[in-house]
Structure 1
Amino acid sequence: MTFNADILIHPGLGNSGPQHWQSIWEKQFNFTRVEQQDWETPVCSDWVKTLNDYVKRYDPANVILVGHSLACAAIAYWARQYNIGIKGAFLVAPSDTEADSYPTGTSGFTPMPLGKLPFKSITVISNNDFYVTPERAHLFADSWGSEVVNIGDAGHINVSANYGDWNEGLDLLKKLDTGY
């Protein structure tokens, strides 16, 4: 599988370890990881600025952002602040930063951004994600104008839920790359 877009991988809280599908894809396809200064106690405005610095390195019209968990909120905040028409965003397992189950230590990621994104997006959700209910995940995706893909009982769609290579996710990412 080949990709025409410039793919920027943006992990969530704690970064993505070597067995995470984001890290596997990064290595396999030479995607670029957005390297944040603080993965453990992030500040939203810092993440948004860093993300924008990465996007500016490329032709925005050819950029696809691949966000997991907290990165989905960061991408939505980035879109609201900069309103740049990128090629698309692949948003996986968006965490609900307003939920009681959300870990402490982040700053500025509430309330959840609910504005329509100025680019195509696919939001992948699960029925049993500890960090977001299916109803809230649908609310986020609908507000963002995303295509919603529910992959069933997939937990947080990470290593602990047995998502390593995740070829089905690559097929969805390819849809964004080819413009559907």
Structure 2
Amino acid sequence: MTPTLIIVPGLGDSGPQHWQTLWQHKFGAERVRQDDPENPVPEVWAARLHEVIGATPGELVLVAHSAGVATVAHWARLSGGEDRDRVRGALLVAPADPEQAGMAELHPELLALAPLPLEELPFPALLVYSENDPYCTPERAELLAEAWGAAAVSAGESGHLNVDSGHGDWPDGEILLSEALHAWTPPAVVRF
């Protein structure tokens, strides 16, 4: 059975040309829609993710971008039980680091997401980061991946991996997702 993707956007809910929105339509994914997508509150955003997970049957894969990555980390810390067990894995793309120096000037609303939880995630994850992302240094991205027990992969100098950095449909991301899904799928049991 193919898992259902759950899109977890960051600030602004990832606009119509963002790869998350394009993937939502392409793959029939579910989407987390925050009441106030410009002002993250960890407990509120995590609760909305929890609602969407609870309303979506079967196995799930979380596909988070930017502040959505922090939402997944906060949700994993705050939630428990069978809903977490249904998450086969998470694709965590271009995390926004609310603890990064200068974030108050870049996006002060992201400061509300600090501190980021550093507990290991209860499901496999792949963190994709950029070497020149203004919202998270490569070193911090690798530290987050290690803390979360996630594999990490650099997308090179790709900005914030969004529309502004030229990532509309993002076919390379689809390849990474496909490879991660393959790695997260347990081998079939053959009975004789």
Q: State the TM-score bracket (shorter-chain normalisation).
A: over 0.9
- How far did 1:59 drift? 4.0
Residues 73-112 of structure 1, C-alpha deviations (whole Å, 9 max, x = no match): 1101100111423111000000111123321124641111
Provide the aligned length of Structure 1 versus Structure 2: 177
Instruction: Tell me what 2:24 maps to.
Output: 26
Instruction: Tell me what 2:88 maps to.
Output: 87
Instruction: Tell me what 1:99 maps to.
Output: 100
Superposition map of 1:84-163 within 5 A? 84-85=84-85, 86-102=87-103, 103-106=107-110, 108-163=112-167
| Alignment equivalent of 2:4, drawn from 3, 6, 11 | 6
Establish whether residue 63 from structure 1 lines up as the match of residue 68 from structure 2: no
Establish whether residue 74 from structure 1 lines up as the match of residue 71 from structure 2: yes
The answer to whether the Cα contact below 8 Å between 1:88 and 1:120 also exists between their aligned partners in 2 is: yes
The answer to whether the Cα contact below 8 Å between 2:98 and 2:111 also exists between their aligned partners in 1 is: no
Q: Which has the larger radius of gyration?
A: 2
What stretches of structure 1 move > 6 A for 4+ residues in a row? none
Bigger mean CA deviation after superposition, 6-15 or 107-116: 107-116
What is the TM-score with the length of structure 2 in the denominator? 0.87
Two-structure CA RMSD over aligned residues (Å):
1.5
Tell me how far apart the structure 2 counterparts of residues 30 and 6 of structure 1 sit (CA, whole Å): 8
Tell me how far apart the structure 2 counterparts of residues 106 and 153 of structure 1 sit (CA, whole Å): 23
Structure whose residues are more often helix by fraction: 2
Tell me how far apart the structure 1 counterparts of residues 126 and 154 of structure 2 sit (CA, whole Å): 10
The answer to whether the Cα contact below 8 Å between 2:40 and 2:113 also exists between their aligned partners in 1 is: no
What is the TM-score with the length of structure 1 in the denominator? 0.93
